[in-house]
Structure 1
Amino acid sequence: MSTNTPTAQILVVDDEVEHAEVMAEGLRRIGHVCTLVHDLPTAREELSHGQFDLIVTDLSMDGEKDGLEVLAEARRTQNNAETIMVTAHGDVPTAKAAIKGGAFDFIEKPIDLDVLRTLCSNAINTVFLREENTDLRQRIDEHYGFEGIIGQSPAIRAMIQTMRQIAPSNIPVLITGESGTGKELVAQAIHNNSKRTKKQFVPLNCAGLSESILEDELFGHVRGAFTGADREREGRFEYANNGTLFLDEVGDMPLNMQAKLLRVLESGEVVRLGANKVSHVDVRLISATNRDLQMRVKDGEFREDLYFRIKGVELHIPALRERREDIPLLVKHYTQQFAQQLEKPVPEISEDLNILLIQFSWPGNVRQLINVVQNMVIIAGEGRLDPQHLPEEIRAASGELPPTSSASETTITEAGGLRLDQIEKQAIRNALRISAGNREAAAKMLGIGERTLYRKLKEYGLK
């Protein structure tokens, strides 16, 4: 067996006993563990009670499409397995359809064992790589939160808990929040933890798109549907079949398009522009908006029936200013990320800088914070990150730098009568208020040690 392919548990399903034995022996010789069954009921029994990395199944057994039933059962019971279809030449179109339904690939009879081994190795490597990525994400989640969504604040913890609960289902999700809060990241995280994770996550930003462009993007067109349509084009719904479609800024969608979207969501049927043929799609919809959709419904700018259709569960992402205790975690994470990208040592982050970052209102939310951290890491070279590395507008807003002054003309300790110790004292008060007096939690919010916080409490006379 190739040293790059790990040992796998394989279920071989074929009603021709000798043929099944040949395939299994060929796979056993390269180190895999094979279980053989010869009919659909026994295959279902094994899939219900066993755990497999790969299923190799004949397409036609006692029933003409028994292999498709095996595929469906595998998708239902084996969260991370792949399926390879074995088919006679005449069943190739059905096998190709099975790939669209979730099969990894197919192989034609008579079987070439070398081809079978190579195909199985590719499928197995895909399975184990996905498991490694899942393990890595879980380790990241243990430290940061969920799928790289960083935060330990009560609001973020509650949101993550809801995400974990709804991800495995097919319920539509409406994500609300200000621009820059990370709505697409949340949508991607839900998809990654759903049963559709092997299929496409297809995003589309509806903002600024005319009705005609949006209709073409969503539903596609056939050749000759309009001037310039020189070939067929698959729309986002068809491309996302069996996966997830993410419509960002759905509140900006024109009213006529809202009606067409509602019709597809209710029927599961898509018709390309210029066509009569109906295509059936199975798509989970996740929508996002920074607008108040209830107000837009009252104003007649958004359909009430569509609003209730897309709002199966509503997830609200708090603005960064509403979860200031998460800012040190975010800063640390992105400092490490950008330092690694630049192949330079990870710089230390000063306490004074963390305090100023916590105090800032962040109108651009996490997106703005990421840009600021990236700029600081670049500007600081290999030194530690200090307030002097902040953009001028943030230093001015914090009171450390008058808007008309340059960094070289103003000292760090005074700005317009506001001293750094006053800023620091206020930050500590805020952290203690948010944490209900819990020193350990307040220290984490501020990005300092508990002993440092205790010293500063004594220094400033705070209780």
Structure 2
Amino acid sequence: MSLRQEKPTVLVVDDEREHADSIVESLGRLPVRAMAVYTGEDALEIIDSQCIDVIITDLKLGTQTNGLVVLDRALQRDPNTKVILVTAYATIDTCKQAMRRGAYDYLVKPIQIDQLRALVAQAAQEASRLARVCQKDERPQFVFEGVIGASPAMERVIEIARRVAPTSISVLIEGPSGSGKEILARAIHNNSLRRQRPFQPVNCAGLTETLLESELFGHVKGAFTGAIADRKGLFELANGGTLFLDEIGDMPLAMQAKLLRVLEDGVVVPVGSTRPVMVDVRLISATNHDFQKLISENKFREDLYFRIKGVNIVLPALRERPEDIPLLVEHFVRQAAEEIGSPVKGITQAAMGILTSYHWPGNIRQLRHTIRTMVVLCDRPMLDIQDIPPEISPRPQLAAGPAQTTAELAGVSLEELERQAIAQTLAKTGGNREKAAKILGIGERTLYRKIKEYKL
């Protein structure tokens, strides 16, 4: 880990050496440490090895590593880096693309030195307030503060989360129960400018309007039976930070109207009080419901939906991204073993194959609980098939009748049938590849190749 310098670091990237050096010289009056590189490739090396607070980069750098590539790498390494693009070819599309990708601002050549200094000073001041710590070594691929995945669907989720985190825009996370909505919400908060302030979660499901109103807005002493003292609500407790409304689709309609008013006015009034309280809160909401259906059934206000929807992120069910299961399993094994001091170091390929082929109706929550249970009960270095709970591990099936077989096989690819057959045979033989190959009627080399092909 590398702490940032006392003075914010500014990197100037321009293939015109004289222009780059003149910018560095013009920043000499500011309380920053400025340096210049003259190729996009050199810029990427600096970004990967040092903590950079502000980057000023020309859009066109004479190679394929242009300013947008520098922008993307900088934000990938640290979403809070301020990147200012410089261009002589300003078009609306170019500017929109840069800002969409997370640029702090842009300047059009010829640069006005006073404008540049003011912009860099503002960006550097924001960066120094964060007092961030950045990672010199490569971060694990597609890991975003506990959000783990290598599938295209999760790549997209993480990309959107990285883009939206440094902003204050509202976020709506949709996904089935147990898919990791709160984990993603915390990750967004922890990568935002509000991360030094509180993250306050509340589950809206199962709470009456009265209880939820008190929970969110607070109450004064005597407001209702049992209100024996003043109590701040979550909006006040989260002031300056993030409020996470889980299962917002279950919020009572009357409460939805009150929430909408707070979001529009930025003011809460505790139950039983007439004194308004100003609040500054970023809202992240989550649901496992279909909002369009709720709105059509008059169970959710359309105006509130558009208010909370700023950016929409859809988390897929675990069964829709089986390629992520091995990554999650390894993470949960490591996590559980460290927490309880278990001798478990990993998991066999045969056991991993069974876990990967399971449909996980409870999603990540069920997988995490299953792995933790397996680790707790295992006293060996490697988890194996016998450690998998019986409701998950496949068991030998009785021969099915023609009608049942047809129904079960309809729409299933030959590759999937082969994968299931290999996984179940490995389970039946306790992971013995020689026995499994004989049962399947194939050679051991063929079986080994298939195991690698299907990641069993």
- TM bucket (normalised to shorter chain) is 0.5 to 0.7
Counterpart contact for 1:172–1:310, Cα < 8 Å = yes
Alpha-carbon displacement from aligned partner over 1:285-332 (angstroms, at most 9, x marks no partner): 000000111100000000000011101111010100000001111111
Q: Which amino acid aligns with 1:181?
A: S
Give the drift of 1:399.
Answer: 3.4
Give the drift of 1:142.
Answer: 2.3
Q: Which amino acid aligns with 1:323?
A: R
Q: Do structure 1's residue 9 and structure 2's residue 1 form an aligned pair?
A: no
Q: Give distance in 2, aligned partners of 1:327 and 1:356.
A: 11
Q: Give distance in 2, aligned partners of 1:336 and 1:401.
A: 33
Give the drift of 1:232.
Answer: 1.3
Q: Give distance in 1, aligned partners of 2:317 and 2:264.
A: 33
Structure 1 residue aligned with 2:239, among 238, 241, 248?
Answer: 241
Give the drift of 1:227.
Answer: 2.3
Counterpart contact for 1:340–1:346, Cα < 8 Å = no
Q: Do structure 1's residue 456 and structure 2's residue 433 form an aligned pair?
A: no
Q: Which amino acid aligns with 2:419?
A: Q
Structure 2 residue aligned with 1:182, among 172, 180, 183?
Answer: 180
Name the SS of the counterpart of 2:382 in structure 1. coil
Partner residue of 2:374?
376
Alpha-carbon displacement from aligned partner over 1:104-161 (angstroms, at most 9, x marks no partner): xxxxxxxxxxxxxxxxxxxxxxx4xx52xx539x85x424521121110110011100
Alpha-carbon displacement from aligned partner over 1:202-248 (angstroms, at most 9, x marks no partner): 11110100000000011011222222222211111111111111000
Partner residue of 1:223?
221
Partner residue of 1:196?
194
Give the drift of 1:282.
Answer: 1.1
- Unaligned runs of 5+ residues in structure 2 are 9-26, 36-51, 54-119, 399-414, 424-443
Partner residue of 1:135?
135
The total of aligned residue pairs comes to: 315
Partner residue of 1:411?
none
Give the drift of 1:79.
Answer: 4.8
Partner residue of 2:335?
337
Q: Which amino acid aligns with 1:399?
A: R
Alpha-carbon displacement from aligned partner over 1:53-103 (angstroms, at most 9, x marks no partner): xxxxxxxxxxxxxxxxxxxx99964456459xxxxxxxxxxxxxxxxxxxx
- CA change 1:390–1:348 in 2 (3 A) is same
Mapping of residues 434-445 of structure 1, within 5 Å: none
TM-score by length of 1: 0.61
Partner residue of 1:426?
419
Counterpart contact for 2:175–2:314, Cα < 8 Å = yes
Counterpart contact for 1:48–1:77, Cα < 8 Å = no
Q: Which amino acid aligns with 1:286?
A: I
TM-score by length of 2: 0.62
Counterpart contact for 2:216–2:233, Cα < 8 Å = yes
Q: Which amino acid aligns with 2:216?
A: L
- CA change 1:46–1:459 in 2 (3 A) is closer
- CA change 1:257–1:330 in 2 (3 A) is same
Mapping of residues 56-455 of structure 1, within 5 Å: 77-79=124-126, 81=128, 127=131, 131=133, 134-135=134-135, 141-395=139-393, 398-400=394-396, 425-427=418-420
Counterpart contact for 2:203–2:247, Cα < 8 Å = yes
- Unaligned runs of 5+ residues in structure 1 are 1-5, 12-41, 53-72, 84-126, 403-421, 431-451
Q: Give distance in 1, aligned partners of 2:220 and 2:122.
A: 32
Counterpart contact for 1:355–1:427, Cα < 8 Å = no
Q: Give distance in 1, aligned partners of 2:334 and 2:281.
A: 37
Q: Which amino acid aligns with 1:9?
A: E
Q: Which amino acid aligns with 2:353?
A: I
Give the drift of 1:260.
Answer: 0.2
Q: Give distance in 2, aligned partners of 1:49 and 1:225.
A: 58
Alpha-carbon displacement from aligned partner over 1:368-422 (angstroms, at most 9, x marks no partner): 0011111111222124211111111112xx33589xxxxxxxxxxxxxxxxxxx9
- CA change 1:260–1:322 in 2 (3 A) is same
Q: Which amino acid aligns with 1:387?
A: I
Q: Give distance in 2, aligned partners of 1:379 and 1:311.
A: 43
Stretch moving more, 342-351 or 165-174: 342-351
Q: Which amino acid aligns with 1:168?
A: P
Give the superposed CA RMSD: 3.5
Give the drift of 1:273.
Answer: 1.1
- CA change 1:304–1:453 in 2 (3 A) is farther
Partner residue of 2:404?
none
- CA change 1:401–1:454 in 2 (3 A) is closer
What is the identity percentage for the equivalent residue pairs of Structure 1 and Structure 2?
A: 47
